[in-house]
Amino acid sequence: MLVFASALAFVGMALAEYATGQHWSRGLRVLGVVGAFTATSLLLDLAGSRRDRILLPTVALLTSLGVILVSRIDGYLASKQILWVVVGCGALIATYYLLEPVSSLANWKYLAGAGALLLMVVTIIFAPEKNGARLWLSFAGRFSFQPSEVAKLLMVIFLAGYVAEKGPLLRQVGGRRGVSLWQARYLAPMLIMVLLCLGLFVGQRDLGTAALFFGLFVTMLYLATGHPTHAVVSLLLFVGGVALAYQHYPHLARRFSAWLDPWSSLTGAGYQPAQALFALAEGGVGGAGLGLLPVTPRNLPAASTDMIFAVLGQDLGLAGSVAVLLLFALLVVAGCRIAWLARDPFDAALAAGLTAMFALQAFIIVGGVLRVIPLTGLPLPLVSYGGTSMLINCLALGLLLAISREESLLRPEQTG
């Protein structure tokens, strides 16, 4: 499958470079992405071949496509993204080999939760405001990163550790007899995460990250208790917080108005979502072709990050968009399989949380482009440009692969 990914990536990159007026040979640089994943696969197999065999090729295809799309927008950004892919693969390998067993992370769950909280507080205090939100921290004007990307991984580790430790007690909360105050104390740390989501929403004015954190909380809460009532109540609380923020923060009100009716503010907040719809319409069913239609910050703002799915729809059409969504579905199925087969409670909860992280983030950004939900500032995992996002995603994949390795070693080899 990696060989297929290599051929597909080279052909796609060559076509994109040719369409944008560059020599087709510049397409060879995308082989650096597939080469990094191929080398990663070979190095992981040095510890034995009994691990998940679906995740890595799927991720290689998604990442290669992302580099191709970024390249047709900005060649310099594509070169930087390739470098981050190589760094991310190195982090993946290090995670796979150095973190054994994965369940040892459970001992650091409260530190991980505190670290996520600290990162978000620092972001609220020190991050400059851009487009109405506080998302990035920079050092000396040269290096910048998005703390929320690191915080989401730390939050998954905290939630997985807490669910694994308190799972039997959490499952006693609720049910036919309701919830007593004595039982509710087990939910307190997780309920604090809901308040944290709302605080993040208000402080950073970042709808996407707040929705992602809330989705992770609801997923882990349902896995821990098995009671959908808790998830519904949490959803109502979050919707109430969003309604209050809508009334008090003009930036968020403009985003919601642009979501409901982008055509009434085409020169303002509605411009970006409207241009995304135009790009998807231009792609039609089969796409306009890689790089054949110009994409600039003027005709599609944030094309390499928030709007990468719109560029995908324009170039490859409905067929290509569905193919990418199927690749994400394959990634989610592989992650769910790893979680299902895991015997250690923490491993199972962590695999489920990491899989939910990929699925929710993909849904939030794709749903925003398609106007299913309000548009947010999240990158499409593995596809959008972003060094911090790529590094954290590779770390998450390293954890998933390490869990699959440990569970494979516990099962006897099947023969016949």
78-82, 171-175, 220-224, 234-238: the lowest-pLDDT one: 171-175
13-17, 51-55, 163-167, 392-396: the lowest-pLDDT one: 13-17
In a domain? residue 199: yes
In a domain? residue 127: yes
Q: What is the pLDDT of residues 279-336, one digit of tens each?
A: 999 999 988 888 788 887 788 888 898 899 999 999 999 999 999 999 999 999 999 9
pLDDT greater at residue 119 or residue 30: 119
Q: How confident is the model at residue 265 (pLDDT cuts 50, 70, 90)?
A: confident
Mean pLDDT of 381-394: 93
Q: How confident is the model at residue 197 (pLDDT cuts 50, 70, 90)?
A: low
Contact 66, 5 (CB under 8 A): no
Please give the share of the chain, as a percent, with pLDDT higher than 70. 83
| Residue 138 backbone phi and psi in degrees, to 5 | -125, 150
Contact 4, 56 (CB under 8 A): no
pLDDT at residue number 332: 96
Q: What is the DSSP string of 236-293?
A: HHHHHHHHHHHHH-HHHHHHHHHHH-GGGGTTTTTHHHHHHHHHHHHHTTT-S-TTTS
- Does residue 209 carry a pLDDT above 90? no
Q: What is the DSSP string of 125-168?
A: HHSPEETTEE--EEETTTEEE-HHHHHHHHHHHHHHHHHHHHHH
- Does residue 175 carry a pLDDT above 60? no
- Does residue 198 carry a pLDDT above 70? no
pLDDT at residue number 116: 87
Mean pLDDT of 389-416: 77
Q: What is the pLDDT of residues 213-250, one digit of tens each?
A: 888 888 888 887 777 776 777 778 777 777 777 777 77
Q: What is the pLDDT of residues 116-166, one digit of tens each?
A: 888 888 888 877 777 666 677 777 667 778 888 898 999 999 999 988 887
Q: 122: domain range?
A: 105-248
pLDDT at residue number 173: 59
Domain count for the chain: 1
256-265, 302-311, 354-363: the lowest-pLDDT one: 256-265
Mean pLDDT of 250-254: 76
Its pTM stands at 0.89
In a domain? residue 120: yes
pLDDT at residue number 414: 42
Average confidence score pLDDT of the chain: 82
- Does residue 93 carry a pLDDT above 90? yes
In a domain? residue 123: yes
In a domain? residue 174: yes
CB half-sphere exposure, 46, CA atoms < 13 A: 9
- Does residue 180 carry a pLDDT above 50? no
pLDDT at residue number 411: 53
Mean pLDDT of 337-354: 92
Q: What is the largest CA-CA distance in the chain?
A: 70
- Does residue 29 carry a pLDDT above 80? no
- Does residue 415 carry a pLDDT above 50? no
Question: Which residues face 134 on adjacent strands?
Answer: 129
